[in-house]
Amino acid sequence: MLRIDRATYDAIVAHAKRDHPDEACGIVAGPEGSDRPERFIEMVNAAGSPTFYEFDSADLLRLYQEMDAREEEPVVVYHSHTATEAYPSRTDIGLASEPQAHYVLVSTREHGNNEGPVDFRSYRIVDGVVTEEEVSIVAALD
């Protein structure tokens, strides 16, 4: 199960809506081995695409160096789907390289960047196997 605080959930949704019709992407880092998504890091979709996301390789390298220095790891890797459901594509599954991470997908296909709900779902992706998990949104992580 993914336990995420309301502020981080809201930040992910806001990023997905703001970048629509392009896919948004980012990471929520947390202390190594904690499974606590604590530090929201909005990334730029270097692909600038409505159907694909790509982290800028230089930005990603800097982020991983920063996380190493802070003894953090990616707890959540998120991106949006703008025209399809919040389920990992074959490409998403192939790119999933963090077996301990929660892979969050936000679908903005129904309302785009307008007011209205999004489909927010979380998955574990290990060795190409996708398993959906429950999302628990809490006021604050304890």
Contact between 102 and 124 under an 8 Å Cβ cutoff? The reply is yes
* pLDDT of the residue at 142: 81
Q: Which tokens hold the place of 91? A: 């490409």
* pLDDT of the residue at 72: 98
- pLDDT tens track of the chain, all 142 residues? 999 999 999 999 999 999 999 999 999 999 999 999 999 999 999 999 999 999 999 999 999 999 999 999 999 999 999 999 999 999 999 999 999 999 999 999 999 988 989 999 999 999 999 999 999 999 998 8
With vertex at residue 45, the alpha carbon angle to CA 73 and CA 69, rounded to the nearest 5 degrees, is 25
Helix (H) or strand (E) holding 129, with range, is: strand 129-133
* For the chain, the helix, strand and coil percentages under 3-state DSSP, each to the nearest 5: 25, 35, 40
* pLDDT of the residue at 91: 94
How many domains are there within the chain? 1
Q: What is the pTM of this model?
A: 0.96
Strand duo 135-138 + 2-5: pairing: parallel
CATH code where residue 102 lies: 3.40.140.10
Residue 114: domain span: 2-138
Distances (CA, A) of 44 to 33, 124, 131: 26, 23, 27
